[in-house]
Homo-oligomer: A and B are copies of this chain.
Amino acid sequence: VRAASGGGAVTLPPVGLERLSLNQITISQWTLPELADGCVRRGISTIAPWRERVAEVGVTQARRLLDDAGLRVSSLCRGGFFCAASERERRRALEDNRRAVDEAAELGTDCLVLVCGPPPGRDLEAARSMIADGIEQLVPHAAAAGVRLAIEPLHPMAIGERSAIVSLEEATELALHFDAAHVGVIVDVYHVFWDHRLAERIAAARDRILGFHVSDWLRHTTDTLQGRGMMGDGIIDLRSIRGWVEEAGYDGPIEVEVIGRPLWELDGDDLLALVCERFVACV
């Protein structure tokens, strides 16, 4: 008997640091200006900021400091949270999503990450329809701004607090309702690595992959929100997954998004050095 398989292990050469995009939450101890300085010191060319950290300096000022530092933005995190019990709240969520699109455009990225939001009640199918409707209503504004919407399936343990979209299969099926020019998916290893048909799911997302995120799953995970591990400290076969993502045609930035509370106690430069070392060694 062989276990069901979605694809073989892949032997790939290491990836260079020019593919690395530093997701801001990885080094939460830094403000956006500190992050920009740190990246320049380390020769990192690309970052992925979070909206609330951009808001600390203002979008216009953020764009100016990133330009001055010569930094590109791979994506903005995040829009989404489409579900709500009332029509009024859903309309408010849509307005906030339009602002997120505008901020992405102003920051010079064509990719807005969508964390789609948890179900308001027990009806998962209704929640998923709200999400589909929300994206449908957001697409025209995003298309006009030249911003693509990237549905990020979250780990199934995030269903109660973050997202009713919890598998890559589901995210891809949802994305395929829309034009590839406007809607795609994020493949974040942390959220999807457990899937026994992952290679197949990634192949099915061909031409829809708008981002590839890396971190690691710690064997003993106790914090469901901020318990991610540094690449190499967990059990994810990062290189095989990168191989499948590249076979599916994705050759863009690889975002390091490690949401790991203990790491935020470290010195930012030391943490960034570790990120770079592990990126080359493990991704």
Contact = CB atoms under 8 A, between A and B. Distances in A.
Interface of A: 1-5, 8-9, 118-119, 121-125, 128-129, 131-133, 135-136, 155-157, 159-161, 165-167, 169-170, 173-174, 177, 193-197, 217-222, 224, 234-237
Contacts of A131: 3
Given A3-B125, A5-B125, A136-B1, A161 B220 contact: yes
A222 B224 contact: yes
Nearest to A218: B160
6 nearest interchain CB pairs?
Answer: A3-B128, A160-B219, A1-B132, A156-B194, A157-B157, A170-B196
Stoichiometry, copies per complex: 2
B219 A194 contact: no
Contacts of A170: 4, 196
Max chain B CB contacts within 10 Å: which of A119, A133, A221?
A: A221
B1 A133 contact: yes
A79 to B, nearest CB: 17
B124 A177 contact: no
Nearest to A134: B1
Contacts of A166: 194, 196
DSSP class of A's interface residues: helix, strand, loop or mixed?
A: loop
16 contacts: A1-B177, A2-B129, A3-B125, A3-B129, A3-B131, A4-B128, A122-B236, A124-B194, A128-B196, A157-B221, A157-B224, A160-B218, A161-B220, A165-B196, A166-B196, A167-B194
A218 B5 CA distance: 32
A237 B238 CA distance: 35
Given A9-B125, A160-B218, A194-B166, A132 B3 contact: yes
Contacts of A221: 157, 160, 224
